[in-house]
A and B are shown apart, each in its own frame.
Chain A
């Protein structure tokens, strides 16, 4: 297998490793699938079998995607582990986190094992999983969280399924805390959101679409923060959409509550106004909110209250979007476009290049508890998951440029900048342009 994990020297590139505060033109050496050295730490006698000429390119840790619905097992008509991890590799993503919403749901170790095996067989990217917080995500009985953790789950989540009984939420948090598991929360007050498909505001009023008030999110954030403080569980808030929620998380972090939060790409670019033509490609859940919320999320990402940026990848078959707006399935396919759309925030002067790379690598790796083993970094000895991209290359998002089986994206037709040239996974080349 040595030939599949050759000694590699990446030369001439701008190496950005936020975890090590590195931003310099240095060399990166890879041997036996691991980082052998960066810059001066590259051994003098290092004899590469392969050199990657990275002049004009950026070299950074492989990206970590916090939310990738891979659709397998159970929804292979939408996508498969093989198809989506291949798209990930082409997008510079080396680690993906799969939520428990597969069919069967990830509420037993067997499903965790199945996904791991299929991902390993495909070999394009690492796939980690979140286990279900309650059996069948039904919100009633706790899962065997200790067993899920032993099987490899990086945390537990009830995804977007409601837990109606608040005492069950409390017990689930307590039980997760027993095993030092992070709970991943999609904050939504079920009864306030019930049946809605759009942000409750001027656009939903005009289109006659059932609305979801912003309070559906903030009420849940407030309740869950109280229960997090009460139970001492470590928690991560997924896909915030409302600027007020960001303020509440910032306040809790300031007070020392162990909480993190992330933002997803669509919410940084679009608002309720974008659904004004019933365009189902903009149908996401939770809904796109106001311009003020979009700015609040952007500011939260820049300040670090939101310590990770994800694509919230939800591939669909074409039919899923071919219906009247409320009847379409929500979600956007995002792995192919995560990097360029994140880099656009640098052009918008929201963050620096090292900062945005941090939100795509070390940030999410910390949330998943993978940072300590070197994921999201170029630490010496860490698995050599490396992305090399051309920050200036422009390309057009069109069906031919997307590797994900899901072509459902409202970014279709956009001209973007930033193209992945090489992706290394554990020292193996899994993508090369």
Chain B
């Protein structure tokens, strides 16, 4: 079964949300539009809608996360669902039951949705293949493969700032694309939304093999890569990269690829700067940029809630309608 068939039902509705790859322009637009309708909810006095009342959502995190898990939890609560947070660190997973056993045990508690983060690429697909048919799986990050809700909140942020026409935009993704599930999902989302030009900027050690096949132009020079762009997405640089001989030092990385006010001058005057967080100040960008007027980094976090509400409600609706049909 291809990924597309796995996450979209025969009516073209989203059953699981595993990867951006293979999803249509109209589904991505529907996610953004639905998120727009929820964005108001989060700023209301009473921040709840009863869409998922009586549903149980399990946040199943095999990798540490604060921001992503918290925004998924808030999104679920604002949809009136019951939320269960389960953090399984790798060490306890090694000791005991298999992943499939974990899944079966939770299923036995009559849950309706899994939000899964796992260190192995393909983990969310694995869950989606093996869950009971009434359960939705949302990928909250699997290995280096995909982080589709993060990508969609970034698209939501870009659309709010730049308007709905992605065709006139140049977007540069700067940093460790090699190890980044966020970058992979962003690239698929930007291309599906017909973005004018998608660039990645990094030294060769952080660019995956055949990166051009993802639909990007590759730059190894920051100033050339961000020249005239409308959006710059900076990626987090993990400290481990220095140990793996990917880079000589944070110092040299910042000198060559760190974003500063001075460097921003070559981009479009209205350029928007984004970062999925958490930021290493002084490594990926300096504080002046992070806290400056072009930065929308905190808006990204806020938008994360509305986008996750959108995806949760859409996948549950697909299942709800399928169940209703079964009863007739």
Contact = CB atoms under 8 A, between A and B. Distances in A.
Interface residues of B, number: 28
B3 A327 contact: no
B118 A209 contact: no
Contacts of B211: 205
A326 B100 contact: no
A324 B126 contact: yes
Interface stretch (B41-49, B73-81, B137-145, B249-257): B137-145
A274 to B, nearest CB: 13
B98 A319 contact: yes
A277 B120 contact: no
A277 B3 contact: yes
Contacts of A322: 98, 100, 130
B123 interface: yes
B238 interface: no
Interface string A187-207: 000000000000011101111
B209 A201 contact: yes
**Chain B CB within 10 Å, residue with most, of A205, A208, A319, A322:** A208
B282 interface: no
A207 B123 CA distance: 11
A210 B209 CA distance: 11
Given A319-B98, A324-B142, A202 B123 contact: no
A414 interface: no
Nearest to A275: B122
Contacts of B2: 277
Contact of A323 (B98, B146, B209, B213): B98
Contact of B120 (A201, A205, A213, A327): A327
Given A322-B98, A323-B126, A277 B1 contact: yes
A326 B120 CA distance: 6
A409 to B, nearest CB: 18
A199 to B, nearest CB: 9
Contact of B209 (A204, A208, A278, A326): A204
B208 A205 contact: yes
Interface in A296-342: 319, 322-327
Contact of A206 (B21, B99, B125, B130): B21
Interface string B79-107: 00000000000000000001110000000
- Size class of the contact patch on chain A: 20 to 34
B213 A325 contact: no
A326 B121 contact: yes
Contacts of B100: 319, 322-323
Contact of B125 (A211, A213, A278): A278
Contacts of A209: 121-122, 143-145
Contacts of A210: 144
B122 A326 contact: yes
B326 interface: no
Contacts of A325: 120-122, 126
B122 A324 contact: yes
Contacts of A204: 208-209
B88 to A, nearest CB: 14
A200 B145 CA distance: 14
B199 interface: no
Contacts of A207: 121-122, 145
B210 interface: yes
A326 B213 contact: no
A208 B118 CA distance: 13
B214 A205 contact: yes
A388 to B, nearest CB: 40
A277 B184 CA distance: 16
Nearest to B211: A205
B21 A324 contact: no
Interface in B268-290: none
B181 interface: yes
B184 A208 contact: yes
17 contacts: A200-B209, A202-B209, A202-B210, A202-B213, A206-B213, A208-B146, A209-B122, A210-B144, A277-B1, A277-B125, A278-B126, A319-B98, A323-B98, A324-B118, A324-B120, A324-B121, A325-B126
Given A207-B121, A209-B143, A210-B144, 11 more contacts: A202-B209, A202-B210, A202-B213, A211-B209, A278-B122, A278-B126, A319-B98, A324-B142, A324-B143, A325-B120, A326-B122
Closest 4 CB pairs of A and B: A208-B144, A208-B145, A278-B122, A324-B120
